[in-house]
Structure 1
């Protein structure tokens, strides 16, 4: 079984700055449906979280140096949350991810490196 991280990428702050409470609740209902669909299809969620606003983030520049306030990358698209999922069926996981992609954010799915994947 492989483990993947499902990254939700887009305007991470829109949920808090531009959406009404009704829009947020409808969106959260779709995320709940995503989790239910994963379980129903035999995928196992092993972790994940919604992230707070990018304005609360701190950044350490490449190469080190003092931490600064603000987003982690010079981009309008940021990671707004993630799921860790164990599965034997990547294609089905990708199909399930269509549920959250339909909400307007991008989704990136990446396999997690296991110790045995590293060269000795």
Structure 2
């Protein structure tokens, strides 16, 4: 199986600032349906999480330096959550992702780099 990360992008704060409790419940029900559909179709969820809003972001600049608060002002989309999914059928995985894309957030599906695709990296090394 190939491992993918499904990144959910958009305004993660809208779930807490502009949605009613009923809208949030309906949205979370769709995420539950997404997970159930992945399992039903033979995909395997191996990890994932919803992330706190952008007010909790800590940034370390490229090249190092002190951490700062919050996203860059010009950044309109943030990663609000992710799933790690093992799948043998990328097209079907993408079809399943339509369930959560319909909620208004963007979805990125990215294949993770396998160890054998990292020449020169020590065995067992991540990232």
- Into which bin does the TM-score normalised by the smaller protein fall? over 0.9
Cα distance in 1 for residues equivalent to 2:76 and 2:34: 25
Alignment of 1:60-75 (within 5 A): 60-71=60-71, 74-75=74-75
Alignment of 1:33-72 (within 5 A): 33-71=33-71
Q: What's the counterpart of residue 95 of structure 1? A: 95
How far did 1:72 drift?
6.2
How far did 1:74 drift?
3.8
Taking structure 2 as the reference length, what is the TM-score of the superposition?
0.91
The Cα RMSD (Å) is: 1.1
Cα distance in 1 for residues equivalent to 2:72 and 2:80: 12
CA deviation map 1:21-74 (0-9, x unaligned) = 000000000000000000000000000000001101100011111000002684
Q: Which runs of 5+ in 2 are unaligned?
A: 121-127
How far did 1:104 drift?
0.2
How many residue pairs get aligned? The number is 120
Taking structure 1 as the reference length, what is the TM-score of the superposition?
0.97
Q: What's the counterpart of residue 81 of structure 1? A: 81
Q: What's the counterpart of residue 10 of structure 2? A: 10
The structure 1 segments of at least 4 consecutive aligned residues displaced by more than 2 Å after TM superposition are: none
